[in-house]
Structure 1
Amino acid sequence: MLIKGESRATNSLALQKSKNVKLKKKTSQIWKTSAMIPKAKSKATSFLALQKSKDAKLKKKTSQFQKNVQRNDEEIQRGVIYISRIPYGFFETGLTKYFSQFGELKNVMLARSKKTGASCGYAYVEFESYDVARIVAKVMDGYLTFGKIMKCECLDPWRVSPDLFKDKNIRPGNCPLVKRRASAISKVCLLITAITIPPSMY
């Protein structure tokens, strides 16, 4: 009876050893296959890098947007209308007289050419109140003046740049190109007089 018990114990030990060997083989195969699969960490890092580059662009855009939006309350309340298809002859004085009847004006700028100073056919009118500008834009949109149908649009506050009215004083006599031409002509005249007239005549 003792011999039979020993044989059974040895058989069970052999079976356990064989099972352990099979498990080791399976686990080694699993580890090999997992090593062949690309790691998720590298993908995550590349994805994060892409997000960082996009975030930098978004930060630039938002900073520019905030610069236009973050102004004083008075500047935000102001209303600017854009007028196009303005007939020739309807200049700054006419625009101020006509639009001042609707409310108080801050700035009036008729877009003019920097080369000749001639009218470009569109203008910007700034009112002290945004609500007044919105009403004026609705009333004047499609208004017939001097044979032309004018188009008016009220601009949102974030669309209005602080340098919008910097060229409002350009006229045909003082546009930048005319000034350059006048200074160049005066220099040429001085050179001609210096060459033609001898020094003894001065």
Structure 2
Amino acid sequence: MWSGALSSSKLIFFSKLYQRNFCSEVFVSRLSYYTTEDELKNTFLRFGKIKEVRLARDEKTQRLKGFGFVRFESDTAAEKAVKGMDKRIIQGRLIFVEMAKSKPE
């Protein structure tokens, strides 16, 4: 018969199993090489307050790589941005927007 008590290993398993992975950052790909951080920020502002916008650049040439990240203050805003902006045309280019994945540890 089950006593209702959980061992610490079972508790850790269940907490990881039911833990939701919250993310407030989106990855934006296929951007124009002429996109500025201000333009990207203004495009995504309608979904919520933005903490940071980063465009990827080549280390040697400092030229844009055509992708970037937008970090919102809330995960809800990030989810709205993915739904509202994925597969939209911006500056003549079809862009893709998805939740950013964390770097492997």
Match in the other structure for 1:104: 49
What's the TM-score, normalizing by structure 1? 0.39
Alpha-carbon deviation of 1:77?
5.0
Deviation at 1:88, TM superposition (A): 2.4
Which of 134, 140, 149 is the matching residue for 2:94? 149
Structure 1 counterpart of 2:81? 136
- For 1:38-93, what per-residue CA distance to the aligned partner results, in whole angstroms no more than 9, with x for missing partners? xxxxxxxxxxxxxxxxxxxxxxxxxxxxxxxxxxxxxx755110000001221111
Larger radius of gyration: 1
| Higher RCO (CA < 8 A, seq sep 6+) | 2
Supply the AA of the counterpart residue of 2:91: F
Runs of 4+ in 1 over 3 A off after TM superposition: none
Q: CA shift at 1:122, angstroms?
A: 0.3
What CA distance in whole angstroms lies between the structure 2 residues aligned with 1:160 and 1:126?
13
| Amino acid aligned to 1:160 | S
**Match of residue 160 from structure 1:** 102
What is the root-mean-square deviation in Å for CA atoms of aligned residues? 1.8
Deviation at 1:147, TM superposition (A): 1.7
The one-letter code sitting in structure 2 at the alignment partner of 1:95 is L
TM-score normalized by structure 2? 0.71
Return 5+ residue gaps in structure 1 as ranges.
Answer: 1-75, 162-202
Conserved 8 A contact 2:27-2:68: yes
Q: Which has the higher strand share?
A: 2
Could you tell me how far apart the structure 2 residues matched to 1:140 and 1:78 are? 17
Match in the other structure for 1:92: 37
Distance in 1 between residues matched to 2:41 and 2:22, nearest whole Å: 20
In structure 2, C-alpha distance between the alignment counterparts of 1:101 and 1:135, rounded to whole Å: 9
